[in-house]
Amino acid sequence: MRTLTVGSETLHLTDRPTAPDYPPLPYGLTLDQAVAVHAHEVKSGDLVLADFSDESGTRRAGHIPTPYPADPHALRDCPCEGCEECDDVDTWTLGDHSRVGDVGWRFVCLSPSEHGEGDEGGEPCAIELRNRPIAVIPADVVTAAEKAAEEAASPVRTFGVMWSADFEASSPQEAAQLAYEQLKSYAADGWPPELEIEDENGHTSVIDLNATQQKEGSR
C-alpha cells in the first residue's frame, strides 16, 4: 500500500488486485510511480490507475481493471455518441433542469467512450467529479517506460557509423581516392580504423577497432 497526498488529504493506494481481470500495469510500471491529483488536474497522457471514494474518513481506492491514458475534456466537448455514463448525466439533469449549469463545473470526462451508441461491450466515458482524487502515473513517466520497454524488446537499433582521416591532395576527387585506397588497405593488412558511432538518440561513442582486435588477440 502507498500513501499519497493531494492538497491536505492523505490517501491510501492499496495494492493492485491480482484477479484475472486486473492485468499488470503496462511497460513495467508500478504503483510506486503513482501520484494523486484532483480529477480536473489530470493531464493528457497520464495513466489513470484508480479513484477514491467520496465517503468521509479514510477514502477507499477503487482500482481500474484496465488503466487508461487520459484524454481529459469538459462534458460539453465530449465526442461520445452516447454511452451509459453520459445517459446517466442526461437523466440527472432532466430530473432537475437547475442541474444543467452544475454539470460544467462539477464534472470532467477523463476519457471518451471507445465505441459509439449501439456498440456493445465498449467502455463508457470516464466521468468523474472535478475534485475527486485520482491516482495516476504522470505522462512523462509513462512515455519513458514505454520507450525503455520498446528498446528492450527490440535489440535491433539504428546507428550511424563515421570514419574520418586527413589526406594531402590537390582536389576532393584525389582525397576521396586516397581515402578509398586506405579503406581497402584495412581489409588487406587487418589493421581496422577508429570509428565514431552515433545512435538514434544522438549519443556518440568512439570505437577503436585496433584496440579491440589487440585485446581479442591477447586472450
Question: With 60 as the cut, is the pLDDT of residue 157 above it?
Answer: yes
Q: How confident is the model at residue 203 (pLDDT cuts 50, 70, 90)?
A: confident
pLDDT at 164: 80
16, 36: one domain: yes
Give the per-residue SS3 of the chain.
Answer: CEEEEECCEEEEECCCCCCCCCCCCHHHCCHHHCEEEEHHHCCCCCEEEEEECCCCCCCCEEEEEEEEECCCECHHHCCCCCCHHHHHHHHHHHHCHHHHHHHHHHEEECCCCCCCCCCCCCCCCCEEECCCEEEEECHHHHHHHHHHHHHHHCCCCCEEEECCCCCCCCCHHHHHHHHHHHHHHHHHHCCCCEEEEEECCCCEEEEEHHHHHHHHHHC
Mean pLDDT of the chain: 84
What does the pLDDT look like over 47-104, one tens digit per residue? 999 999 876 667 789 999 999 999 999 888 888 877 888 888 878 777 777 777 677 7
User: Does pTM top 0.75 for this prediction?
Assistant: no
178, 137: one domain: no
* Ranges 15-24, 74-83, 123-132: which has the least confidence: 74-83
Report the domain count for the chain.
2
pLDDT at 212: 54
79, 20: one domain: yes
List the domain range (segments joined by +) for residue 145. 2-152
Question: With 80 as the cut, is the pLDDT of residue 109 above it?
Answer: yes
pLDDT at 24: 94
15, 91: one domain: yes
Last residue of a domain, one of 152, 176, 210: 152
More confident position, 211 or 115: 211
